[in-house]
Amino acid sequence: MADELILGIDLGTTNSLGAYMTPGGPVVIRDASGNSLVPSVVAFGTDGAVTVGSQARTHAVENPLSTVYSVKRLMGKGLADIREDLKFLPYAIDPGPNDTVAVRIGDGLMSPPQLSAIILREVRSRAEAALGRPIVQAVITVPAYFDDAQRQATRDAGRIAGLNVRRIVNEPTAAALAYGLDRKEDATIAVYDLGGGTFDISVLRVSGGVFQVLATNGDTHLGGDDLDMEIINLVTDGIRSQFGQEITFPPATRQALRDLAEAAKIRLSTQQQAPIEIDMGDGRVYRRTLSRQEFEVRCGKWINHTIEHCQMAMADARLTPGNIDQVVMVGGCTRIPMVLARVGEFFGRTPYTAINPDEVVAMGAAVQAGILAGMSRDTLLLDVTPLSLGIETLGGAVGKLIMRNSTVPCQASEVFTTYVDGQTSVDIHVLQGERELVADCRSLGKFQLRGLPPMPAGAPRIQVTFLIDANGILSVSARETRSGREASIQITPSHGLNKDQIDGMVKDSYKFARQDMNAHRLIDIRNEAGRILTAIDKALADAGSILSADERTLLDTAVADLKGWLDRTSQPAQPPDDDQLDAFYQIIKAANDAATPLTQAQMDSVLDKTVKGRKLTEL
């Protein structure tokens, strides 16, 4: 081991684990019984004791209100984002600060990062016991489709756990690192990652030790928990049908149902049937047998949804399934026969399952940790950002600086200016999404560039720079190049995107592509029209007397037409089509042409003042 040991951690929805890098490759941390997995469950006793992992999970039914699981689904989320989950969670969820959520523990509240930190401390404690040395640095994995809020929440959890989080790595990318560590030939790999709470599909190219992510797609709210919920719904419907619709399910029963559903799901991965038995009390017992076929019918929609994401990722990578050399399976749910069959059918090849799907992400995190510690200098990881980023421009349009699936770390800059004379401050509104208008994108944050010296409209040169670091964390800065004034922000939104927002951003960008582009063009044309009218007003005030009567009449008519058009298009019922936009350009061109004599007169006046009374040699 290198002197600087960095622990690789897979912080999972269902289970978490750690691994470290040695000269011989990644090694997974195991307890005395040889078990590598720490169930991501935290329980709080009435005496203040905190238990983590298997022990907490064992007593979950006895202590449903004080046993927390699937906390990863709460990371970086607001109350509205998890509304559908609330009906199934036995523990209480309250609003947290800044539109976040918190879990009620007794009389107090704990945030998702605080709860995740307890799990991280347990993983670190196991590693320290196994290695006989303290550990303070880590690489932690997250779903590829975790947005900035969820990544920040994960970093916060590491910090609370006393860890210096050196890198946040996407889970499917980590899996590819573990798979391709000893691979010599070039290959294009698809990593299908179906875990307890999230789904990711990433397409990577491995060449000469360089791991380049070509595209990523997924859903941060699709996983084994949803498959369990299908079984729970099936069972609760059966109970109510047999014993009466008025039956309710208290927290202890909901926790027992969850454990039962997960056990049945695991059993059906190797057997054709799973018996279910629930003691309802008062001598009432519910019994039934769940077949694999029945389970597959109930869960087919979720599996089909993952295939839809695979299709989108392949389209973004500009590849077909036939271009994929290997399909790597990650996550416990990939053991489900239907999942293996559907993935194999889509890609036209048998998925690769030689590496333990529960451990491969932690192994990849350890590989990245080894790279950071200097143990491997011939491997380079190039990841991507999943959604486009930009700022609001005049009229409610979005100026995109970083496009989705751009390789990170990355930086992009663009120069903007003002539209009002004497403007001394500029608002910078940072946005995320694929649409062309602010109203259709998600706000990440705002900041203000102040103290600009008063200048004519268009004179300031404001350089806006977006920087995404290797962890996928976004920083935005703005600098006025003439005065040197600058301001910046690190984006830390209060909550993340829900499933519908993530899916909708990408799907709507295709569905409304033409409409959005025309709406954006209309805003650009209106901005140009406003600039021309302002310039004409200034020119008329300075040199309007030089125009002949005919020229003035022509200009007044063109200006009136342009102003009338601006009024008519201020709130269009729908974006104009291409022919209408071309007609709008002609109205602007007519005003510009009518102002030409005035513009020439202004230039002549400036030249006259410049050369008057000066010798040729002085010019």
Q: What confidence tens digit (pLDDT) does each residue in 424-434 have?
A: 888 888 888 88
**Domain hosting residue 254, numbered range:** 224-297
- Cα 467 to its chain centre, rounded Å, is 16
CATH number of the structural domain spanning residue 517 = 1.20.1270.10
561 is catalytic: no
193 is catalytic: yes
578 is catalytic: no
Q: What is the mean pLDDT of residues 216-228?
A: 87
pLDDT in tens, 246-257: 777 777 777 788
Q: What is the mean pLDDT of residues 557-570?
A: 82
Do 267 and 306 reside in the same domain of the chain? no
Least confident range from 21-25, 263-267, 307-311, 436-440: namely 436-440
Which one of 147, 148, 156, 193 is the catalytic residue?
193
Do 409 and 369 reside in the same domain of the chain? no
Of 353, 384, 415, the residue that ends a domain is 384
Rg (CA), the chain: 30
Res. 544 pLDDT band, cuts 50 70 90: low
72 is catalytic: yes
Most confident of 258-262, 293-297, 505-509, 565-569: 293-297
Do 303 and 217 reside in the same domain of the chain? yes
Which one of 171, 200, 316, 383 is the catalytic residue?
171
Rounded to the nearest 10 degrees, the angle between the axes of helix 596-611 and helix 549-568 is 120
CATH number of the structural domain spanning residue 83 = 3.30.420.40
Taking the C-alpha atoms of 578, 584, 588 and 593 in order, what is their torsion angle to the nearest 10 degrees? Answer: 80
Asked if residues 520 and 397 have their Cβ atoms less than 8 Å apart, the reply is yes
**Mean pLDDT of the chain, nearest integer:** 82
Res. 546 pLDDT band, cuts 50 70 90: confident
Do 247 and 341 reside in the same domain of the chain? no
User: Would you state the pLDDT for residue 495?
Assistant: 39
- In 3D space, the residue among 570, 145, 550 whose CA is nearest the CA of residue 386 turns out to be 145
Cα gap 439→495, rounded to integer Å: 18
- Cα 535 to its chain centre, rounded Å, is 43
CA distances in angstroms from 183 to 8, 326, 377, 566, listed in the order given? 21, 12, 15, 61
User: Would you state the pLDDT for residue 513?
Assistant: 63
Question: E strands of 374-458, at which residues?
Answer: 380-385, 389-393, 397-402, 406-408, 410-416, 426-432, 442-449
Answer whether residue 618 shows pLDDT above 60.
no
Answer whether residue 61 shows pLDDT above 90.
no
Predicted TM-score (pTM) of the model is 0.62
Q: Which residues of 119-141 are buried (b: 16+ CB within 10 A; e: fewer)?
A: bbbbbbebbbebbeeebebbbbb
Do 215 and 228 reside in the same domain of the chain? no
User: Per the domain annotation, does 502 fall within a domain?
Assistant: no
Do 569 and 526 reside in the same domain of the chain? yes
- Which distant-in-sequence residues (6+ apart) come within 8 Å of 184 by Cβ? none
Do 218 and 239 reside in the same domain of the chain? no
Which one of 10, 219, 358, 436 is the catalytic residue?
10
Cα gap 114→153, rounded to integer Å: 9
Q: Percent of the chain, pLDDT > 70?
A: 87
User: Would you state the pLDDT for residue 346?
Assistant: 97
Of 360, 384, 408, the residue that ends a domain is 384
Compute the C-alpha angle 422/428/430, nearest 5°.
Answer: 165
Structure tokens at 165: 């989080």
Cα gap 87→74, rounded to integer Å: 14
Q: Phi then psi for 432, rounded to 5 degrees?
A: -130, 130
Name residue 215's amino acid.
A
Cα gap 219→239, rounded to integer Å: 31
Provide the number of structural domains found in the chain: 4
Answer whether residue 332 shows pLDDT above 80.
yes
Answer whether residue 423 shows pLDDT above 80.
yes
Asked if residues 84 and 122 have their Cβ atoms less than 8 Å apart, the reply is no
Do 175 and 84 reside in the same domain of the chain? yes
User: Per the domain annotation, does 240 fall within a domain?
Assistant: yes
